[in-house]
Amino acid sequence: MSEYLRVIDAREDEAGFAAFLQARAGAVVSSEVSQQVAEILAAVRGEGDEALVRLERQFDCPDYTPERIRVSEEEIAAAYEQVPPVLLAALRRGIENVRAYHEREVPRSWREEMGGLILGSRVRPLESVGIYVPGGQAPLPSSLYMCAVPAAVAGVPRLAVCSPPRADGSTHPLILVTAKECGVAEVYRLGGAQAVAALAYGTETVAPVVKVVGPGNRWVVEAKRQVFGVVGIESLPGPSESAIIADASAHPGLIAADLLSQAEHAGDNTVVLFTPSARLAEEVLAEIPAQAAALERAALIARSLREQGALVLVRDLRQAAALASALAPEHLELAVEDPEALAECIENAGCLFLGPLAAVPLGDYAAGPSHVLPTGGTARFSSPLSVQDFVKRTSLVGVTEQGLQRIGPDTITLAEAENLTAHAEAVRKRQPGAARGTSQRAQEV
């Protein structure tokens, strides 16, 4: 057992890795958190702004007032003076990269005639979207633009951002500037479950939205779970996860740096290295303590690696791909000689990072795809946040006489097989020569 990473030898027996997977499966929200969230949602739904002020005073800012709920346009404009030009330029380039990527995935409406049927799909943007941006440890502008830009590309006309106030009641200027750069007109100083409640139900100050997206702590995620159905949600995001598959060609110093970078979020991040190279494994284990000692979040990193991390020795890259697919991580780096070939063997991952230069932080900030990715193994059936999450599709069906003659009899037969005779009659009355005021059966009687 390493001081930082548990070592699992899966070359002959995969039981150890199976136990590691099982320990991460099926995280259950505590009944206490669920009850607390339910009470917060009920309070905001029933009391509106009054509840928001009371809850913000309790959780975020003792001097919170109703006037602080919505950030003024003047404050947003003034925020630009507090953001260094170099940072603003980097932010704008990152936003542009994300926009360029997501413009390639815009779905289109279509309409065609097929054998007497006029069929199609109409695509329209959602009417409004609320974006939750955490702010507990540091401002997270990337979480904002990774949600806001795909929504804007989709054409959503109204975007509203909620982010918790700082202790003095203000909002970090970088969040305000990012919102403005993304075209967001509404910014609210609201955090936690109360922010989700305001977006879902609306209050005197906050108009409700139709979908809520964005990461957050367990109270935020549970609030999204409980308001689902009133509004849409994109996912129930959990702690960040990263895995690396590395062969003997990988540089141990870079692999160690990548493991450390993905373990510094909140102390509960899953970080796994798969390798068939015992030499690389030894060198990485030796590198980690030396690099970790110089990092600001060394304690968080150590906790993540000890409690959620693993180094898995595998027979070959094929086995590594199978085990990584079983993990279905949010991020998966392929630090191997032929990453493209190995990528074809990966079934489940939120985002694949191809080759030794493709570090996960590049995707976190500036590469292009939204960094809002499936977590908790949900990459087995879920996809990254995209433009598709911000549009709705409506199916179109038109029928000509030819089409009715072609599919009408089959429809009647199938409806009657399900004992839905009214369905059958609705089609039978449209058949050529049918009486449209009296049922065929009544005529026969």
Note the pLDDT of residue 264: 87
Does the structure show a pLDDT above 50 at 445?
no
Q: Are residues 283 and 420 in the same domain?
A: no
Would you say residue 368 lies in a domain? no
Does the structure show a pLDDT above 70 at 2?
no
Would you say residue 341 lies in a domain? yes
- Largest Cα span, the chain: 91
Q: Are residues 257 and 303 in the same domain?
A: yes
Would you say residue 264 lies in a domain? yes
Q: What percentage of residues in the chain have a pLDDT greater than 90?
A: 86
Can 287 be counted among the known catalytic residues?
no
Would you say residue 14 lies in a domain? yes
In contact, 231 and 35? CB cutoff 8 Å: no
Q: Are residues 419 and 311 in the same domain?
A: no
Query: 438 pLDDT band (50/70/90 cuts)?
Result: low
pLDDT tens, 125-156?
Answer: 999 999 999 986 678 999 999 999 999 999 99
CA atoms within 13 A on the CB side of 103: 6
CATH number of the structural domain spanning residue 416: 1.20.5
Comparing 28 with 292, the larger pLDDT belongs to 292
pLDDT tens, 290-305?
Answer: 998 889 888 888 888 8
Q: Are residues 167 and 294 in the same domain?
A: no
Rounded CA-CA distance 143/217 in Å is 13
The one catalytic residue among 241, 330, 333, 425: 330
Would you say residue 364 lies in a domain? no
Structure tokens at 170: 């203000």
Would you say residue 275 lies in a domain? yes
In contact, 215 and 134? CB cutoff 8 Å: yes
Q: Are residues 438 and 406 in the same domain?
A: yes
Q: Are residues 297 and 152 in the same domain?
A: no
User: How many separate domains does the chain show?
Assistant: 3
Note the pLDDT of residue 1: 46
Can 331 be counted among the known catalytic residues?
yes
Q: Are residues 18 and 47 in the same domain?
A: no
CATH number of the structural domain spanning residue 82: 3.40.50.1980
pLDDT tens, 220-278?
Answer: 999 999 999 999 999 999 888 999 999 999 999 999 999 999 888 776 789 999 999 99
Structure tokens at 80: 């630009």
Q: Tell me which residue of 226, 259, 244 sits closest to 44, measured CA to CA.
A: 226
Does the structure show a pLDDT above 60 at 52?
yes
The domain of 198 spans 31-237+388-392
The one catalytic residue among 172, 181, 222, 331: 331
Q: Are residues 204 and 289 in the same domain?
A: no
Q: State the alpha helices, DSSP H only, in 328-400.
A: 339-343, 360-365
Q: Are residues 161 and 64 in the same domain?
A: yes
Would you say residue 371 lies in a domain? no
Using left for φ > 0, alpha for ψ between -120 and 50, and beta otherwise, residue 420 falls in beta
Q: Tell me which residue of 239, 244, 349, 247 sits closest to 303, measured CA to CA.
A: 239
Q: Are residues 438 and 408 in the same domain?
A: yes
Query: 444 pLDDT band (50/70/90 cuts)?
Result: low
Would you say residue 46 lies in a domain? yes
Q: Are residues 168 and 91 in the same domain?
A: yes
Q: Are residues 248 and 272 in the same domain?
A: yes
In contact, 313 and 7? CB cutoff 8 Å: yes
Note the pLDDT of residue 26: 56
